[in-house]
A and B are shown apart, each in its own frame.
Chain A
Amino acid sequence: MKRIYLAATLVALAVTAFLALYVTPPRENQGFQAVRLLYLHVPCAWLAYLAFGVTALASILWLIPRTRNTTWDLLAGASAEIGVVFTALMLAVGSLWGKPTWGTWWEWDARLTTTAILFFLYLGYLALRRTGATSAERGTRCAIAALIAACDIPIVHFSVTWWQTLHQQGTVFNPNLDVKVNGSMALTLVLSVLAFTMLYGYLLIDRFQLAQLEEGREERELQLAIAERVRAEEVVPA
């Protein structure tokens, strides 16, 4: 089943790449051929929202005593890591598009700055996950941090509306819901978002499985260390 899903994801990504690179037209006001980078940039941005949204949801489920389960903590961590990868790609690809279109690699524009803050907030979250503590302590600490970091998601999204700086307004999700893309460009954009979402699902399953194994190993190491200490105390008389 997982192989079929992976095959379907790869096919969707290949079709997206074909449409993005060969079928869609270049745009003079979007860096000519550089407009093709938007079929990577937009799905990466969507996945950052999705991944960090899943992290926030899983964190809430961890914080509620009735639903508290290690699964939510591990899922939050796995999704945040994938979100960080896609946020980094979003920033890098956006920068590659910005150079030929805006004439600069980086600008302290509202959208770019809030996105960079989002990236560093979740890098901090991942660092926090590696600090020493029991899994319960770590889960609570990280869940609170994830919810604080999630406050930046709506700020990133609405930054182009609240502060009209260099970054363009949403192509689809703008205040008037005036879709500014059509034809093959719209189709490719929708397909790219779908294909990347499928890829996120695949990566999340794998990363979650790895997180479970890491957790199992950590617990086993802790038990071995306790057993060794008990043995040592039995051998050496006090």
Chain B
Amino acid sequence: MSQNWGYVVAGYALTTGTLVAYAAWIKLRTRRLKRLLSDEGRD
């Protein structure tokens, strides 16, 4: 790829992927814990 576009693509993909994965991990773990706590509250 000319003029170092490959590095640019890698950098933007890495940043986007990392931030999306991190935000998704927070959401999933929050949802799981909320469910767990409400289940335990019912017991």
Residues of A that sit less than 8 Å from B by CB: 17, 21, 26, 31-34, 36-37, 40, 44, 85, 88-89, 92-93, 96-97, 99-100, 199, 202-203, 206-207, 209-210, 213-214, 216-217, 220
Contacts and interface: CB of A to CB of B under 8 A. Distances in A.
Given A40-B12, A97-B11, A220-B40, A210 B33 contact: yes
B11 A207 contact: no
Contacts of B30: 206, 209-210, 213
Contacts of A34: 4, 7-8
Interface in B1-42: 3-5, 7-8, 10-12, 14-15, 18-19, 22-23, 26-27, 29-30, 33-34, 36-37, 40
A203 B33 contact: no
B26 A210 contact: yes
A88 B11 CA distance: 12
B25 to A, nearest CB: 9
B18 A21 contact: no
Nearest to A20: B12
Interface residues on B, range: 20 to 34
Contacts of B18: 85, 88-89
A26 B3 contact: yes
- Chain A interface mostly: helix
B19 A199 contact: yes
Given A89-B15, A214-B33, A99 B7 contact: yes
A213 B34 contact: yes
A206 B23 contact: yes
Contacts of A216: 37
B34 to A, nearest CB: 7
Contacts of A217: 33, 36-37
Contacts of A40: 11-12, 15
A36 B34 contact: no
6 contacts: A26-B3, A32-B3, A34-B8, A92-B14, A214-B33, A217-B37
Nearest to A28: B3
Given A37-B7, A99-B7, A216-B37, 10 more contacts: A26-B3, A32-B3, A40-B11, A88-B18, A92-B11, A206-B26, A210-B29, A213-B30, A217-B33, A220-B40
B16 to A, nearest CB: 9
A198 B18 CA distance: 17
Q: Which of B10, B11, B37 has the most CB of A within 10 A?
A: B11
Nearest to A44: B15
